[in-house]
Amino acid sequence: MGEKATPRHSRAELTSWDHRHLWHPFTQMRQWLVEEPLVIARGEGCYLVDLEGRRYLDGVSSLWCNVHGHNRPELNTAVVRQLEEIAHSTLLGLTNMPAVVLAKKLIEIAPPGLTRVFYSDSGATAVEVGLKMAFQYWQLKGKPGKTKFASLVEAYHGDTLGAVSVGYSELFHRFYRPLLFECFRLPPPHLYRFHQGLSDKDAMAKAVVEAQNVLSRHRDDIAALVIEPLVQGAAGIWTQPLGYVRALREIAEENDILFIGDEVATGFGRTGRMFACEHDLISPDILCLAKGLSGGYLPLAATLTTEEIFSAFLAEYDEFKTFFHGHTYTGNPLACAAALANLELFETERVLERLEPKIVFLRERLGADLAPLAHVADVRQWGFMVGIELMRDPERRIPYHPTDEIGIRVTQEARARGVIIRPLGNVIVLVPPLSISRDELDLLIEATRASIQAVTERA
C-alpha cells in the first residue's frame, strides 16, 4: 500500500472531541469515556489500521458486513466511477442505472420465486419493510384479522420499533415494551439442546412440534413468521440443524402464514452458500438483505418478495393500495454500484468455491484448539459464523456473572494480540471476511485461543 496518510488531526484532539461529542451505539458511555479510543484510519484487506499505523485483523468483518476485505480496488473503482456520474438521485418517481441492474442481478441469484426488490438503507429497515409488506398484503387480500407476527425466542432483527417487536430481548428492550406490538415467540432448537442437553435431533423435533402448535392454533391471526435462517446471530450465534428452516417454512405455508427470511447477517456467503435458505432448499415469501449486500462498503438494504405479494398492491391510483414506504436514500446509486461490484467479485473470484476449504479448516481448528479449553462450554459454527460460549463451570453449567465481563476482557486481550473481535455476552464471536487467508485464519484462531486461556485462567 502507499504512504501512510498524515493525520489531519492529532490523536489528542480526536480523543477529546470523541469523548465530548460522540454517543456510540450499543456502548456504555461511562466505560467508553475513561478509555483511550482505538481510532481506525485505514483498511487493507482483512486488516484495520489505526492512527499510529498499528494493524489489527478484522475478526468480525466490521460488524459482519465486510466480504472481500477493505480497500478493494475493484469496489473502490466502482464507487469512484459512479461518483463521477452522480452520487444520488431518488427512486421516488425516477429510476437509475445501478439500482435497476442490481435488482435484476439480485433476482438472478436469489432463491427461486422472488421477483421484486424494494431498497432501503439498513438491516432494520429491510425487516421493517418486510413486516409492513406482509401486514398490508393480508388486508389487501381480504383477511384483515391477520395482524400478528411470530418469531423466534431471542431473535434479533434490528433496532427500529417494528424490528424490536419481533426481535425482543428483555435485557436490551425492556424500556420500549409499551411501544411494541404483540408477537408469538417460538423456542428454537438451540434452547432445548443447550439448556436441556438434548441431541440435535430431539431438540429439533421438540422445536418443530412447538412451532406447529402455536402457528396452527393462531393461523387466523398471524400475518407472518420471521426468522434468521440457520443462525440466530445476535442471540450468540445460535445455530439451527439442517431441516429446521424447511420445517418452519412448510408449517407456515400449511397455515397460510407468510415466511420472512431475515438474511441480513447470513446472506452473501456467510454460511457457505450465497443465502442460508439454500442449505434447506427453500424460498421465503420475503427475504431481507443488508450488511454484505454492498460488500460492507455502504449502507444498503433490500427486501425481496414474490410476484404474488407484489401484485396484491396493484390497483387504480385512487384505491390507495400503494405501498406507502420509502427513504430519502432508497436505491442510492453509489451503494448500488458497490453492490454490483461485490456480486461481480463473488463470480470472478469464485468466492463461494474457495470458501469451502476455509470453512473446513476453521472447523478443524476450532475443534482441536478451542473446544478442549477448560472454560469453553460450546463451539457453534455455520460457515464463517462462529460462537464460542464461555462458562465458569461447563460441567455443571454455571455461567460467568455479567460483572466478570468475561467476553469484553477476552476481546481486549485479543486486541493486544492484534485481532479485533467483539463478544455477545459470554460468547466470543468470530465472523471473518470471506476473503481471509489461511494464515490470517490461523492468527485469528490462535489469538482467540490464547486470549480465552489468559483471561479464564485469571478469572
Interface with ligand PMP (CB under 6 A): 122-124, 127, 156-158, 228, 233-234, 262, 264-265, 290
Q: Return the number of the residue (51 or 338) whose C-beta is nearest ligand PMP.
A: 338
**Min. distance of Cβ 226 from ligand PMP in angstroms?**
9
Beta-carbon neighbour count of residue 411 at 10 Å?
22
Dist CA 333 CA 78 (whole Å):
11
Q: How far is the CB of 24 from ligand PMP (least distance, A)?
A: 14
**How many degrees, rounded to 5, is the angle at CA 79 between CA 76 and CA 85?**
140
Provide the CA 29 distance to its chain's centre, in angstroms.
24
- Nearest 5°: phi and psi at 379? -120, 120
Candidates 104, 69, 126; CA nearest to 291 is: 126
Beta-strand pair 55-58/419-420: parallel
CA distance 410 to 375: 12
Instruction: Output DSSP code: residue 276.
Output: G
CB nearer ligand PMP, residue 290 or residue 377: 290
Considering beta carbons, is residue 124 or 351 the nearer one to ligand PMP? 124
Nearer to ligand PMP, 118 or 400 (CB): 118
Cβ-based nearer residue to ligand PMP, 156 or 244: 156
Alpha-carbon distance of 398 to 395, in angstroms, equals 8
For residues 220 and 121, is the Cβ–Cβ distance under 8 A?
Answer: no
Q: Which is nearer to ligand PMP, 124 or 207 (CB)?
A: 124
Exposed e or buried b per residue across 218-248, where buried means at least 16 C-beta atoms within 10 angstroms of its C-beta: eeeebbbbbbbbbbbbbbbbbbbbebbbbbb
Q: How far is the CB of 424 from ligand PMP (least distance, A)?
A: 10
Q: Closest Cα to residue 338, out of 299, 297, 303, 304? A: 297
Q: Which is nearer to ligand PMP, 49 or 126 (CB)?
A: 126
Q: What does the alpha-carbon distance between residue 338 and residue 300 come to, in Å, rounded to a whole number?
A: 9
Query: Minimum distance from CB of 238 to ligand PMP (Å)?
Result: 12
Cβ 150 to ligand PMP, closest distance in Å? 16
- Identity of the residue, 290 or 414, whose beta carbon is nearer to ligand PMP in the bound complex: 290
Taking the least distance from each CB to ligand PMP, the nearer of 123 and 331 is: 123
How far apart are CB 15 and ligand PMP at their closest, in Å? 26
Q: How far is the CB of 29 from ligand PMP (least distance, A)?
A: 19
By Cβ distance, which residue is nearest to ligand PMP? 123
User: What burial letters (b/e) apply to 162-192, b meaning 16+ CB within 10 Å?
Assistant: bbbbbbbeeeebeeeeeeeeebbebbbbbbb
CA-based angle 97:104:310, to the nearest 5? 110
CB of 290 to ligand PMP, least distance (A): 5
| Closest CA relative to residue 43, chosen from 23, 24, 61, 27 | 61
Residue 417 CB, nearest approach to ligand PMP (Å): 25
